[in-house]
Every structure is written in C-alpha cells, then in structure tokens.
Structure 1
Amino acid sequence: YVQKHLQKHGIRVLTGVAAQEVLGDDKVSALKTSAGELSADLVILSVGIRPNTAFLNDTGMEMFKGTILVNEQLQTNLPDIYAIGDCAMVSNRMTHSAQWSPMGSSANLEGRLLAQILNNTPKKYPGVLGTGIVKLPELNCARTGLSEKVARDSGYDVETVMAVVDDKAHYYPDASSFITKLIVDKSTHKILGFQALGSGAVDKMVDIAVTAISLDATIEQCECMDFCYAPPFSTAIHPFVQTVHIMQNKLSHKLISITPAEYLAGKAKDYRVIDAGLVPSIRGAKYVDLAKVNAPIEGIDKDEKLLLVCAKGKRAYFLQNRLRHLGYTNTLSLEGGLFFNDVKVKTTSKLTPEEIKAVKALGFLQDKNTADKFNGRVITRNGKITAQESKVIAEAAEKFGSGEITMTSRLTVEIQGVPYDNIEPLREYLMQNAGLETGGTGSKVRPVVSCKGTTCQYGLIDTFALSEEIHQRFYKGYRDVKLPHKFKIAVGGCPNNCVKPNLNDIGIIGQRVPQIDYAKCRGCKICQPMNRCPMKTLNVVDKKITIDEKHCNHCGLCVNKCPFHCFDNYTDGYRVYIGGRWGKHVKEGQALSKIFTSKEEVLAIVEKAILLFREQGITGERFSDTIERLGFANVEAQLLADDLLSRKQENLKAQKHLVGGATC
C-alpha cells in the first residue's frame, strides 16, 4: 500500500536492488545498480547507523555485531561498566529476547533509569517495543510491538485484523482515514502489536497501543476506553477502540473475514465477489444493495462461497450479518475493502462510458476496433528515453499489451492493445522498473514535444534541457491545474520547425541572430553568407551587405561564412509563438515581437501564457480562440509584463474550468 502511495506521488521505490557504483567525473551523473543505471543529479546515501564501538574490540567486553550486550540493570559483562543508547543491545519488552533499538527516545529513557540505578534505586530496564514512526508525502506510518510474523515466530497463537476507520468525524474539514492492523494473542486476548497508516495523527493511535501493551492489557480492557472526543479530533467511538471492537467481533466469529494478505495469497479464489458498496464499484461483480436485502437474493445460492467487498469493510460486515440471518452459510468479508485491496473480477461485460473516461484520464485511449483494449501513452521528460527505459517499455508491451509500440504525432511512446484489466498492472510495472508514468490527456498542460536540438547539425539551442525544465515546471508542476482546454508546448532547435512549434499553443524556436560588423564588409561580387542564406534576406547594395530583418528567420547559416569575418559575431536566443494549433482547425501561431536571450525569460513567458489562459480563457475554447477574442496586442502586452505572475496564487486557487474542453 505504501509503495503504491509513493508511486502515485511520482516516487519510484526499488526494493531488493543493490547500489553498486556512483557514476560521473566532476559530478554525479548516475547510480549503477543491479537493476540498471539510474540517472541522477544528486545521490543521498541513507543506510542506517552502526555502533562506534571498535575501540572496545580487545577489552573482553561481550558484544554482538558491534552492539554491547547489557542486562536489566544496563550492566555489561565487565564490572562497573554500563552501556546505554545506540551502542547498547537491550531486550524486547514482550519476548525478552535481545533487541537493538537505536532511537533517541530509548536512549534518553535508558539514561534516566541508569542514573537512578547508579544512585542505588532498585530499578530494572523493562526493554523496548520497537515503536517507530515515519512521515511520507501525505501519509504517516507508525508501528509498535510485534509484527504478525515475529509474534508467530515467538510462539504466540496469533490473530490479526485490518480495519479502515475514520480519523475524525467524517463531515469535519480534512477528515480522512486510518488504516490499522491489530495483532493479538487468541488465547489471552492480549495486544501484541499495532500498526497505523494515515494522513492524520497516527502517533496518537500507536501511543495508545504502546500504553496497552506496556500494561499487559487485553482487548476487553480497551473496549470502553474513554478517550477525548469532539468532531475536530476523533470519532464518537475512538478509532483505536473501533479497531478493538472489530477484533472482538472476529474472535467471537460475529465477523468472518479474510485479511488482505490472505486475499493476495488466493484464499478467496473460489469465492464469488459480491459488491456491497454504497454504489457499484467492482466491474463484473454482482452488486447487492444492503438497504434492500430483506429476503434471500435471487441468483445467489445459500451455500455458495461469497466474498463480500465494500469501500472500507463496514457495509460488507453488515451484509454478512443480514445474509447469515437469511440462511447463507459461506461468506467472507474482505478486511480493508477497496480502500486497501485491489479487487478484480474476470468478466466479459461491456465497459461503461464512466470506466472508459476514468482510464482516459490516465493516458489510455480506447482502440475503437476493440471492446476493451486501450493504447497507453508513456510520458517522457523531453522526448528522449534511455536504453533501460526503452527496454522496460518493450517488456511492458509484451507483458500487458499486444507487444506493439507506436509513436504518436507528438512523439509520445504509445503501448498498443492493453486490456482494461491490465492498465493498472502496466502502470505499476513502468513506474517500478523505470520510473515512467502514463498520461498526457485532459484539459491541462500536455507533455512537451522536443526536436533533437544541438544533437542535430542545424540545432541552435539545447532543446532537451529546456524541454525537461518545462516538463518539470509545467507538465508536472501544473498537473492539477484545470485549463479551458488542452495546452500544448513544443520546442524546436532551429527555424526548420521539424516539430512544428508554431502549430502549438506555445512554441519555442531556437534563434541565432547575426551581429554584422559592417566595417569588415568588402562588398564581394560573390558573397558567401548571401549564398548560404535560405531565406534570401541578404543582399549587397552599394558594395555593402544589407539584411532584411523583417524576413530573416535567424537560422544562423550565415554565421562564420564570411572570409573577412564580418559575420563572426552572433547572439543566441529564442523566438516564441503563441496561439497555434493542430487538428480540425489548423492555425499558425503568431510570434511575439521580442527575441528572448535567456532561458529564464522564456520560462516566464510559458508560465504567464498558462496563467493568462486559465484566468481569461472560456471553458471549451483553445488558446488561439482566447488570443483572437482578447486581441494579439493585448495578450502580448500582458505576457511581456509581470501582472499575471503577481496574481498567480489567486488565479490557481480559483475554482475554474472544472470540466474543460479536451476530448483526447
């Protein structure tokens, strides 16, 4: 669950992969791993800690892997020598086996206790529970006590329950959910371990469990705990107590359920999936409206194996009770519901328009020749992919699609023939193995198109570098910003216009503006720069070279072509076109009057164009329509000023263009 959450935030997670070598000369360029090379500008090694105890190796002190073994009084095996903190191997509070817990919390508690022991206070250190917490993007994760595996390995008769509960009153602003896992001993009902995920105060949930475990509490002792309640802070029955209640129901067989781990292991493979949600949510499953179940359900046999699934698990439990009352004998409720589990049902039913629309937003457009296959667009940062990325895309096409790959008109890689049920596995495979995403649809900034730039003999600017910066700042940075319609950006390295920058909402073209030294011109009968000019804008008049600035496209082919060096100097820059478009109504964009000489100026123009379109465009119209309605001179004046940037936050916060106009 955590790995998928991080992937949704664009973070690639590689487990079981060895880092082998940092590559690069003056600075890092990549990290070589057992899964291939990962390009990088910065490498952070966060590999944990190791006790700094090598100076004790020849002292006779008893140690284990660098940690100092101590007893309940924190004594080592040597007289009058004690050890606490990150260097000390203490014990687990529950199993009493050795446990290393290098935490600042444990170290300080050990320090205070040792001070008392050294002052003849008869105390013992009880050990650690291994409590820990970590903050991830929009997700907090905490745990204490024994994990399920460690509890079983330690000889406990283990029962677990996984529950999704509200973290505060559901109607209160910013209300969210806790995902909790409670681990208990079946025979004694003592709490052994607890884990919690959520965007809210998971530390409060786990700290309650720490208290319960430390006091050897049973779940019965926790079922009526009088915790703080008010809608901003909690639910009327505290979420920790709710988890305890669910465990009580499971132990007493009022709830007969299956855990997510058991579901993944195939324990319910022979069960028919029943969708018990508030609305139908599982394609191919039989939907049962809980409110209408007052008699046996037509088409479902009472002895049939049924897996009941809802959003979080509560409605599935209610349905299970009702079905049991009606004589159904073999039902399982899926713990965590669809909130935590990915439930798929093999089906031949036709896709609904809503299902087609939902995957379109992920970059999967339906192949009109099929009923349930889609072509998925793989997003590249700047039109360029590495050999490793290309390999992963090819593997994904074979595993999840037809084995074919095409290029779209905007130089996007598209995997063909992906069945509907393969879309999420394909997306996970691309992210996990190459950090690649799918997308590029909807009324928002689209992936940037780039030509080869300076890798081409005519290229004047580094289009790859500029396109990657545009990709990061505006495709990814503005990914949640709704616009009146799609907004396309293209970067061309020279006026050859190979990727048609002037047929995009905003197009950037590399320029090389000659700075002619007229004093060096000799008025040659055969002028070399004039012969190289494809636009025929150079002429010799009265034995001096002249240039028609109005028609010069600044291709730079005249530069360094004069044997007398009057064309040696030049200025590199960018020409920006706005309001172009492809499609049914092709329109060439108009160039802004200024030739920009810095990348920062160009990036500012791109951002201002997006902000202007969002602020002043009408839902459903293209940027070219907005420019035509407002007037080119008006739009140019706004783009060359900074007022749009000063209104940026107000603009982005406004509830505008909730539908948009893009259909592809």
Structure 2
Amino acid sequence: MRVVIIGGVAGGMSAATRLRRLSEETEIIVLEKGPYVSFANCGLPYYVSGEISEREELILQTPEQLKRRFNIDVLVETEAVNIDRASKQVTINKQGQEEKLAYDKLILSPGAAPLVPPITGLAEATNVYTLRNVPDVDKITSILAETKPKEAVVIGAGFIGLEMAENLKQSGLAVTIVEAAPQILPPLDKEMAALIENRLKAAGITVYTGAAAQAFKENGRIIELSTGERINSDFTVLSIGVKPVNELAVAAGLATGLKGGIVVNEDYQTNDANIFAVGDAIVVKQQITETDAMISLASPANRQGRQVADVISGVTRKNKGSIGTAIVRVFDLAAASTGLNERQLQEMKMSYKAVHITAKSHAGYFPGSEAITLKLIFDPVNGKIFGAQAVGKDGVDKRIDTLATAIKAGLTVADLPELEFTYAPPFGSAKDPVNMIGYAALNIVEGLSDNIQFYELKNAREAGVLLLDVRNAEELKNNGSIGEDINIPLDELRERLAELPKDKELIVSCQSGQRSYLAERILKNNGFNVKNLDGAFQIYSTVYPEEVNK
C-alpha cells in the first residue's frame, strides 16, 4: 500500500512515523511545499530574541534522517497542485517540473496560513511580516539585524502575537500591540486577560484594544487605526489569526465547513473514503458541546496524525474532538485556558456559573511561592466543568493541565476536592488550588453560596443592593475601595450584625473573595439575604481601575 501525505509538519509527520511503526511494508511519501519538515513552529518567536540561540534546534528532523530511521520518502519544496480522485493521483510540482504520483490512501495535513486581511495600503507596505515557518523567521531575523528598527507594531494579541511582542521587546525594540477585539487574548475572559495586559504595560509595551489597523501609509511606516489614531512602525508583524489551507481540498471537491475547514468523520475520512485529513485545516468537534470548531494547536494535530495512521492500518481509533487547551508566557507571567470561556457560553445561551480564587503555587510559608488567579466555569446544577483559566508566575500549567484532564475525563466540580496531589512545601499545598476551586464551585452547586460577577455589580447597586466590604481600615487605605456602602472588618462582623439591614440584599466583598465567603456564611446563618462578589476587590479593580477610590 502506498500512502501519500501532503504536509510535513505536526500532523503529517506524526502520521508518517506512526504508519512506519505499524508496518514495514507500507510505502510512505511525504510532500512538503516548503524547504523544511518536522520543524518547531511554536519555538519560532523565541528564536527572534535569541532565547533559542541555535537555528538548528528548530529543525527536529531532516529528510535524510527520516529516510534512514523510518524509511520515509520526504520530498521538500514539492507542492501538490491537484488531486485526481477518480484515478487516485496527485499532481506535484517539484522545482518547476510536474509529475503525477499515485496513492492508495491520501492524508491531507496542509495546516493553516496566517490571515492577511484586505487592509488599505498593505500591498505597498515594505515592512510587514508574518511568522509561520522557518523561512519566515529567517527573513525576520535578517531584517532585524540589517535594518535595526526601533519601533515595532504587532497587529493581533492572541498567543503568537503576545509571544512576538515579548521577544521583540526583549530584542530592544519599542513595541506597540494593536488588537481589534475589546481585549487581548480572546480565549480568556476580560478580567483574566486584564492581568496580562497590565503586565505588558508594566514592561513598557503600548496596548491598543478595540482598535483595528485600517490603513498603511508611507509604505507601512504609518498605521492608521479605526479609532482615528496614527502610530509609527519601522517593523510590523501581522498576527491576527490563521485560516485553513483548503485550496487543494476544495478544488478536489472535498467537503468543507466552518471557516472553510475540511470536514472529516470520526475516522478522519473526508467525503472521499480514500482521502483523510488532520491538523489545523480540519473542522473538529468541541468535545464539551459537540459543536463544530476550528482549534489550531500543536497537541491535537500531533494526536490526530497518530490516530489517522492507526485507522489506515486497521486499528480502531476514533476522532473524539478537542477542548482547546493552551498557554502563553508573557515575561514572568503565564496565562492558560482550557475549554469554554464565558463569552462562548453566553453566545450558546448556556446556563453557567463562574468562581475565582487566588491561591499560592506552593505552600505560602515556603520561600518562592507565587500567587495564581484561577477561574472555573461550570454548570450550576450538575457541576459539569465547562472551562478554566489561570494567570500567575508559577504553577499555572500544572493547574490548567489538571483541569483539562478533568474535563476530558468527564469529572464534575464535586470530583475536584477528591483529587490527590503530591505534597511537600516546595511543590504544593495540602489543599491544592484545584481542590480549593472545587470546594468553591461545589458550595454554589449545593446552595451554600451564591455569587455575583464583577460586571453585574453596578446594575445590582443601582437596583438598591448594598455593598459590604469586610476588609480592615488599613487595607482600604492602602489598596483603595470601590465605593462600598458599609465597611465592617470580618473579625468584627458577628458583634456588629445589628448595623446591617435585613430588608435589603447585601453583596459582600473583601480583597480576593475568601473572607467575603466567610462573611456570606455568617450572614446567611443569621438570616440575611446576601451574595458574594466573586473575585472581590482584586478582580473588580483590575477590570475597572478608574473606579477605585484611593
């Protein structure tokens, strides 16, 4: 059997090597349009700043190595230009020469290409670049070395955009980020993304949100924004997203769906039984909701490549979909997410609740512990976990990986307190943040607590609800307040209950939400109608710093 694979990165190479491990008889041919296969595209931004110092580290395997070890024929700089489904042949163009290549099974793994919008003046701009492969990073590093630009603009504040912004800043450039959406990092919710935006600004990066690049002037040296502002740029990186590379599939009559992604079944088959597809170019099922999604991440692509090889080899393996789990480093902070965010759940009109906690990466009394802000989104009735987000200096990956596993395993918030983690003071806490947020969510599911989100507070107060702050006077003086109606420190609350009205609803707040929960329980046990401000002052002041009274 001859298997031809179009695309030699991530999904394509995973499929090729797995096929060989399963069979020595299968003939495997990989076609790659570019000059390199099996390269570390996720590491490209870090090569720009020199954090990854050796270019060779980005090249994981060469065609020669793949031939020696796996007996795979890898044809680089070879473009597949046509698929003849009737004759089961691929027309390829290799350095200007066309020839036909027969296949028994065909795997499409063309990946995704940077999205380049029709911005006025973009075609004439001479200083605008995208980053997706090794030739791209070669061009960028060469330009940076030769022209020594001083001002850089990154258009798009997703994961890759922020990685580029950090590494350009580390390279000594003045950096501006332009994001059309109301916030940076769209996979995160507003309050979590605000923590990262504050870190970018603290590093000296200028951030524009709700501002799209509308026109390039003077060959790209001036960028006009939709807000009417004009910014200077010596060097611009477009990082506003990706689109599936689907031209070959469309021309062959293969079905496409959401955003042009190639449609496949649970065996990764297209509407042609002999043609399969994997990676960033395919439509997947969002595993939590079973709805169509485009999830362009390296881990799912590699998994899909391995699974399609199993299917072709006769091993039962099903495409279960993906939940979308990702992380980004922004200087000394990490931001990670898994599953669905609030915006997605609101668009689907799904009922949910969210809780925030602030916890330590390991035992607080042991040196080096760092704060983690952790968010969990869940079904308030059955406790199903919809998603999670975290921001912090240390331990973010561990907690989001755990919660991603919990989602995949079908656990509920009731299971999170039951999870057992290794514990010693340098590594964790006796009650891990994942345990703690499980307790907080379970309190809501079981009716012991009811919370209100930061964006609901203004309307609640306008409706006559009173805000009670249980921080002490010194905290209010040092950190500021958000205009609380009543201030009673937690430790004085039981003795001062008579000062609170029982005929009005109360919202209780503190610094991060822990003491306000304790206050909520005291008040409820004494007959008060009360809700907890989730995330409390810390979250509210991060999103609305202008409303903090000092």
**What TM-score bracket applies, with the shorter chain setting the length?**
0.5 to 0.7
- Could you tell me which residue of structure 1 aligns to residue 387 of structure 2? 193
Rounded Cα–Cα distance in structure 2 between residues aligned with 1:423 and 1:239 = 26
CA distance in 1 between partners of 2:324 and 2:462 (Å): 33
The amino acid of 1:47's aligned partner reads I
1:75-474 equivalences in 2 (<5 Å) = 75-151=269-345, 153-154=347-348, 156-263=350-457, 266=460, 270-278=464-472, 279-281=474-476, 282-283=480-481, 285=484, 286-327=486-527, 329-342=528-541, 424=546
Residue 314 of structure 1 aligns with an amino acid whose one-letter code is Q
- Secondary structure of residue in 1 paired with 2:497: coil
Amino acid at match of 2:344: V
Indicate how the Cα distance of structure 1 residues 168 and 261 shifts in structure 2: closer, same or farther if over 3 A, else same: farther
Q: Is this contact kept in 2: 1:20–1:31, CA < 8 A?
A: yes
Counterpart contact for 1:157–1:187, Cα < 8 Å: no
Task: Give distance in 1, aligned partners of 2:545 and 2:241.
Answer: 37
| Partners of 2:378 and 2:548 in 1: CA distance | 37
Please list the CA deviations of residues 439-474 of structure 1 after superposition, one character each: whole Å capped at 9, or x if unmatched.
Answer: xxxxxxxxxxxxxxxxxxxxxxxxxxxxxxxxxxxx
2:390 and 2:463 map into 1 onto residues whose CA distance is 28
Residue 646 of structure 1 corresponds to which residue in structure 2?
none
Q: Is the 8 A contact 1:71 1:90 kept in 2?
A: no
Paired residues, what number? 347
Deviations 1:192-224 (A, max 9, x none): 211112222212111111111111112222222
Name the counterpart of 1:34: 226
Using CA pairs under 8 Å that are at least 6 residues apart, name the structure with larger relative contact order, 1 or 2.
Answer: 2
1:595-614 to 2 correspondences below 5 Å:
none
TM-score (norm 1): 0.49
How far residue 334 of structure 1 moved from its aligned partner, in angstroms, is: 0.9
Whether 1:59 and 2:59 are equivalent positions in the alignment is: no
Aligned residues: CA RMSD? 2.7
8 Å CA contact 2:212, 2:226 repeated in 1: yes
Residue 426 of structure 1 and its aligned partner are, at CA, apart by 12
Residues 81-120 of structure 1: CA distance to partner in whole angstroms, max 9, x if unpaired? 0001122112221222221112111110001111111110
Q: State how far apart, in whole Å, the 1-side matches of 2:286 and 2:448 are.
A: 34
Task: For 1:296 and 1:426, locate their aligned partners in 2 and report how far apart those are by CA, in whole Å.
Answer: 26
Q: Give the match's secondary structure for 1:342.
A: helix
Separation in structure 2 between the aligned mates of residue 196 and residue 423 of structure 1, nearest angstrom: 20
Q: Secondary structure at the match of 1:82?
A: strand
Equivalent AA in structure 2 for residue 232 of structure 1: P
The answer on whether the counterparts of 2:378 and 2:386 sit within 8 Å (CA) in structure 1 is yes
Partner residue of 2:164? none
Q: Secondary structure at the match of 2:310?
A: helix
AA in 1 matched with 2:524: R
Give the partner amino acid of 2:398.
K
Question: Is the radius of gyration larger for structure 1 or structure 2?
Answer: 1
Instruction: Please name the residue that 2:204 is paired with.
Output: 10
Displacement of 1:187 in angstroms is 3.2
* Partner in structure 2 of residue 50 of structure 1: 243
Q: Between Structure 1 and Structure 2, which shows a larger proportion of strand residues?
A: 2
5+ long unaligned stretches in structure 1: 345-421, 428-664
Please give the per-residue CA displacement for 1:390-442, whole angstroms capped at 9, x wherever unaligned: xxxxxxxxxxxxxxxxxxxxxxxxxxxxxxxx993799xxxxxxxxxxxxxxx
Instruction: Give structure 1 regions of 4+ aligned residues with deviation exceeding 4 angstroms.
Output: 152-156, 264-269
Check 1:185–1:426 CA distance in 2 against 1; reply closer, same or farther (3 A cut). closer
TM-aligned CA deviation for residue 9 of structure 1:
3.8
Structure 2 portions without partners, runs of 5+: 1-190
Amino acid at match of 2:373: I
Note the C-alpha offset of 1:325.
3.0
* SS at 2:524 equivalent: helix
The CA distance in 1 between the partners of 2:547 and 2:449, in whole Å, is 31
User: What displacement does 1:155 show?
Assistant: 6.2
